[in-house]
């Protein structure tokens, strides 16, 4: 991983053949949604063998919404997940329990027309990353951006993933983006041909565009 460019995560993978095509692009992270109400729910379409066959260097992220800690840990063990992303109302205590079990935690927060960093403070010592997504009807994958300038004054020690409707149209703006704490870009719905199915060629164009710039 080159620290001079943003890490790249593709989230919402749900089909074996498509997973192989996207993994060939060597994203830094691949996300798998374990939330049954999501249209990108992994269900029975993926299994342990699919995830185990991923190229070395790709970190597997399990996305959960208000799931019990015990269930999350069971899924981590079953699928060999490297991180968990919590997209509900999970508490700092729950995050701390996962960390204590050796599982890195990404805690997601929805951003609307304004955002207060004060809500993050209780989590600072109990998560490895934050993720900022656009507030919408669903916990994630709503396909719309928020005003990234809201993060211009971010000063917490926790790095974060930037999500929320990032598409190829935003590539130039993202190339010129200078935000404190930015760790990775999270790509999902704007690269889909159907929920959970990504357009590998479109993703390849995005990867090429972003990996030739310096942040």
If we measure between CA atoms, which residue out of 211, 162, 214 comes closest to residue 203? 211
pLDDT at position 77 is: 96
Based on C-alpha coordinates, what's the Rg of the chain? 16
pLDDT at position 215 is: 44
Predicted confidence (pLDDT) per residue in 165-183, tens digit: 899 999 988 888 889 999 9
pLDDT at position 1 is: 38
Q: What is the value of pTM for the model shown?
A: 0.92
Q: For all residues of the chain together, what is the average pLDDT? A: 91
Check whether 140 has a pLDDT greater than 60. Answer: no
How large a percentage of the chain has pLDDT more than 90? Answer: 79
Two tokens, residue 21: 């095509």
Two tokens, residue 54: 């991923």
> What letter does residue 46 receive in the DSSP assignment?
-
Beta carbons of 174 and 208 less than 8 angstroms apart: no
CATH numbers and ranges of domains, the chain: 7-211 (3.20.20.70)
CA distance 160 to 181: 6
Check whether 128 has a pLDDT greater than 90. Answer: yes
pLDDT at position 46 is: 86
pLDDT band per the 50, 70, 90 thresholds, residue 211:
confident
pLDDT at position 143 is: 62
- In this prediction, residues 48-71 reach a mean pLDDT of 95
Say how many Å lie between the first and final Cα of the chain, rounded: 14
């Amino acid at each position: 991983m080159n620290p001079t460019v943003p890490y790249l995560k593709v989230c919402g993978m749900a089909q074996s053949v498509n997973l192989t095509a996207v993994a060939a692009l060597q994203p830094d992270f691949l996300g798998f949604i374990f939330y049954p109400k999501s249209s990108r729910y992994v269900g029975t379409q993926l299994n342990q063998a699919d995830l185990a066959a991923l190229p070395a260097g790709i970190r597997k992220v399990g996305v959960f919404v208000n799931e019990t800690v015990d269930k999350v840990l069971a899924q981590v063990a079953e699928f060999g997940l490297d991180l968990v992303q919590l997209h509900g109302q999970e508490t700092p205590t729950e995050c701390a329990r996962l960390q204590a079990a050796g599982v890195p935690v990404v805690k997601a927060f929805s951003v609307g027309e304004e955002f207060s960093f004060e809500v993050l403070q209780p989590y600072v010592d109990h998560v490895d990353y934050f993720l900022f997504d656009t507030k919408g009807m669903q916990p994630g994958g709503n396909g719309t951006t928020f005003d990234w300038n809201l993060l211009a004054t971010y000063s917490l020690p926790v790095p974060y993933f930037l999500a929320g409707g990032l598409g190829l149209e935003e590539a130039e703006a993202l190339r010129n983006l200078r935000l404190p704490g930015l760790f990775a870009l999270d790509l999902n719905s704007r690269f889909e041909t159907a929920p959970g199915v990504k357009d590998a060629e479109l993703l390849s164009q995005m990867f090429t565009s972003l990996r030739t710039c310096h942040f």
